[in-house]
Amino acid sequence: MRKTLSIFFVSMVSSALVFSAQAAEKGKGSIKKSEYGKTPDGKAVDLYTLTNAKGMVAKLITYGAICTELHTPDRNGKLGDIVLGFDNLQQFQGEHPYFGSTIGRVANRIAKGKFTLEGKNYTLAVNNGPNSLHGGLKGFNRVLWKAEPREAKDSVAVKFSYLSPNGEEGYPGNLTVTVTYILTDKNELKIEYTASTDRTTILNLTHHGYFNLAGEGDILGHQMTLAADRFTPVDDTLIPTGELAKVKGTPMDFTKPMAIGSRIGQLTNDPRGYDHNYVLNKGDKKLGFALRVYEPKSGRQMELYTTEPGLQFYTGNFLDGSLKGKYGVIYKKHFGFCVEADHFPDSIHHPNFPSIVLKPGEKYQQTTIHKFSAH
């Protein structure tokens, strides 16, 4: 089995290197549009392949505004796909843990699927124990987005747009939202979000990529630095208690470089692994450093910068070997990690958390940058 996986990985790298050489010859990035499949009601789903001047590749589909592949170089310059997912639309339309998806209207959990806004009560689908998770039964990860390719001097991009009608999944307001994936010649994947509403609503968007900088195996040896002195403790259904607790002296502390798996066995509230929201030191709204992850074997490094106040760190605790992903790989526990830049879970019920309320006339804006290098 390992030999088979190696063949898939070598084949993937070889084809990507050819792509890299072609891009380098031109000295600029490129955008390629192709068919990816059709939804059950016959609507076409498109695939956009972004390649920058250095040969880095990002692949995105209009279904769910999903990033299906992300090829970055290791210390030897060889490209490898570092995100989990599938190689066909059918699997993305089936049940899966939000691989590479755009999440909305509200990322993370809302307690008991209920909230009150301007004196009116709203009820959402309960799809995660007693709570509502990641936008409900048909969140933004399961809708068809309109796509507009864009080219600039030092980047290539795809702008996705969607109109979420009033009442969709129980949320108020007609919401116009855009998500733009920008691949720069600095080997950055920049994600820019905007939104506006005609009625007061709540909104918390994020990207739910599962990363593995080695390209295979578990992620427990990845070295992580997370710029957060505090986190939000949760109850047994993963809803915050409201406390902002210090990470110092606990397995939650990644303020200095630490292997992800070095203290994972010390977690008491969730022995399966990390699934916690961190309160970023950089504060709210301003773009700032949040995270650095380094994988020693490949030499790949990812840094994350965001305007968001929080970062949900998740270690793929519920990957159980039941899903076969790209290149025939069986996804097992801890085979990928997620770093979701967003507002805190269940913010609507915690006045001391940064607000996720969006009113008419206001403009929602968010920028999150994943910067890749190798050494």
Tell me 344's DSSP state: P
Pairing state between β 201-202 and 258-259: unpaired
E runs forming strands in 263-332: 275-279, 288-294, 300-306, 310-314, 323-324, 330-331
Q: Which of 168, 169, 340, 343 does the annotation list as catalytic?
A: 340
Contacts of 303 (CB under 8 A, 6+ apart): 289, 291, 292, 293, 370, 371, 373
Side-chain-side CA neighbours of residue 37 (13 Å): 14
How many residues comprise the chain? 375
> Over the Cα atoms of the chain, what is R_g?
20
Give the integer Cα–Cα distance in Å for 364 and 203.
8
Q: Which of 71, 207, 208, 350 does the annotation list as catalytic?
A: 208
Residue 239 sits at the vertex; the CA angle it makes with 370 and 362, to the nearest 5 degrees, is 60
Q: Does 340 participate in catalysis according to the annotation?
A: yes
- Whose tokens are 């692994």? That residue is 273
Contact 198, 173 (CB under 8 A): yes
Q: Which residues are catalytic?
A: 208, 340
